[in-house]
Every structure is written in structure tokens, then in C-alpha cells.
Amino acid sequence: MQSSSQSETGLKLNTCSLIDLTKCSLNYCQVGFARLDLSLMQTEGLEYQEILKTELSRRCQSNPRYGLRAFARDLEISPSRLSQILNKKLGLSQEAAQKMALKLGLSPKESELFCEMVLASDGRSKHQRETASSRLQVRSQELENYRSIHLDAFLTISDWHHYGLIELLKTKDLKQDRKWMAMRLGISIYELDLTIERLKRMDLIQEKKGKLIPLDENFSVSSDVPSEAIRKFHKQILQKALSAVDTQSVDERNLSVVTGAVSTEDLPEYNRLIKGFRRKMNSLFEKNKKKSDQVYCLSVQFFRLTEKE
């Protein structure tokens, strides 16, 4: 099971939620592609095709009618060519890369980085590709590495449905059918395919004889590093909770609130209590996983209501 244990500065992925993810839908518009994907681009080994796929996925989330054709229109290329580029059957020239970066709304620095990634992949000569790859490696080495998981790598899977799919694969009534999985998670087939691709690359699921199998791997993002991706994840979960208020019966969900005056000196103790409760819920989820038939999300919020003087 996956669980998020830090609110803004860190996230422990282990999941669960008292919001039924299989019955809620999410319309979350991620604003600021350039700021977010600059970090994505800085990840060593990440290819520019993944940047494009991630942006397409975000646009699909923001607009259910948005798809490959609309993305191709916005980039001013044909749908067939875009499909070949995403599938690494066609490359990009530097001129085309610069034009695409402009259409994506990247800053000059981000455009330079994007074009460098294109050159490392599609440069005409081996020397061009190797030189560009070396420059990208230097950039990557400037970033701090995390033993648990690179923060930048987490940016590619910061959407809730990645963890929702992992848990869906553990339910007893699972159907190894992509349309069924997409329907249960309330996402498009294209988003599901991207989700599967990323989880396989992260070694969080594997595919054997056409069947998707979750791997029992726990990983965490360092709790001392602020992350836009982590905030995005928690905002999405809160949006799911808002949806559950209107779409689920009181028998299907549990929403409760306790408000009280506290001393800031006691905050560590309150946080320890919350952490202990989460661990007990995790243990219960694990104990009953063989008979699970839904995916739920336990999301705990403990925050200051009063404004600072």
C-alpha cells in the first residue's frame, strides 16, 4: 500500500485513503508547465519525449476532450508526426526543437535545456550526441542525489492515479483490461498507458505474460526538501475528498473534523499521534488486502486556522 506521510516538504509512498478513488473523478489543472518541467529536464537520463508525454498528460487532465490531435495542433505539427516523435520513430532537428519549445512556453533557459536533450538524442553525428549528453550529465551532477528516489523522478509520477493503479492491481476482482482499469480510476486510456509506462520504469510494477503485477517496493522523498510535485499530489487528494462529499454516501466515506486551541510547543506530540494512527491503518490495510475490492485513500490534514500576528 502507498501512503503519503509528509504534507509539503516530504512524501512517504507506501497508499491508502478513506476516499474511494475508483468512484471519484478529478479535474485538476496544473499551471506552470515551465517551472515544473525545468526540474524534470534536469533529471539525468530523462528523454525529451517524456517531457512531451508528461505535458500531454497534464493537458488531458485539465480538459477531457484534449488529446494527441489537439496537442499536435498546438505544436503546429501533424498528429502522425507527433505520434512518431513520442514513440521515438522520428527525431527533431534543432530548428524544430526551438520552435516546439516556443510553443510550449518555455523560458530561454528551459528552451536551451530542452534543445540540449533533443541534440543528445537526435544529433546528426555521434560527436554531437556525445557532447550534448556530457553537458546534460554535468547539469545533472549539480543536483543533490537522494538514495530513496530522485525528487525529479518523482515529478514524473506526482499524480494520484499512479498510486491508485498500484493499489487497484491488488484488488481481488481485478480485470487485466486497460479500458476497465481506466474506467475504475476515472482517467483516459492514454493517461493509463503513460501511468503504466512510468511505473514500470520506476520498477513499481512489472508486466508478465500480459498481466500487470505490483511490486512491493516502498520509497520516499527526503522530508527536508520542498517539492512542487508533493504539493500537487496533496492538492489532488484534497480535490478527490471534495468530490467524495457530493458523490459518495455516508456509508462509503468518513469525513470528520476536530477543531481545538493548541500550544505550538505541543505540535510534535500531535504529529506523533497522527503518525501512529496512520501506521495502524497501514497495518489494517495490509492485513485485509487479500479480500480488498476497492481503493480508498486516508488523507489527514492538521493545520493552523488562525492567522499569524
Number of H helices, E strands in the chain: 13, 6
Question: Do 15 and 223 meet the contact criterion of CB atoms below 8 Å apart?
Answer: no
**Residue 270 grid cell:** 500531535
177-192: pLDDT as tens digits: 999 999 999 999 988 9
Residue 95: is its pLDDT beyond 80? Answer: yes
Which listed CATH number (2.20.25, 3.40.50, 1.10.260, 2.60.120) goes with 43-141?
Answer: 1.10.260
* 194-226 confidence digits (pLDDT tens): 889 888 888 889 999 899 999 865 555 544 434
Residue 229 has pLDDT above 60, yes or no: yes
Q: Is 81 left (phi over 0), alpha (psi -120 to 50) or beta?
A: alpha
Worst-scoring range by mean pLDDT, 88-97, 156-165, 235-244?
A: 156-165
Q: Cα–Cα distance between 22 and 185 in angstroms, integer?
A: 5
- Bridge-based pairing of strands 296-297 and 17-20 is antiparallel
**b (16+ CB within 10 A) / e for 265-285:** eeeeeeeeeeeeebeebbeeb
Helix (H, G, I), strand (E, B) or coil at 260: coil
Residue 140's pLDDT is 66
H/E segment holding residue 206: strand 205-208
Whole-angstrom Cα distance, residue 28 to residue 159?
10
User: What are the start and end residues of each CATH 1.10.260 domain in the chain?
Assistant: 43-141
Q: How far is Cα 288 from Cα 282, in angstroms, rounded to an integer?
A: 10
End-to-end CA distance of the chain: 41
Query: How does the average pLDDT of the chain come out, rounded?
Result: 78
Q: Which of 149-163, 204-218, 230-244, 265-279 has the lowest mean pLDDT?
A: 149-163
**Does the predicted TM-score (pTM) go above 0.75?**
no
The CA distance from 76 to 220, in Å, is 39
**How high is the pLDDT of residue 170?**
92
Whether 77 contacts 44, CB under 8 Å: no
For residue 57, what pLDDT is reported?
A: 84
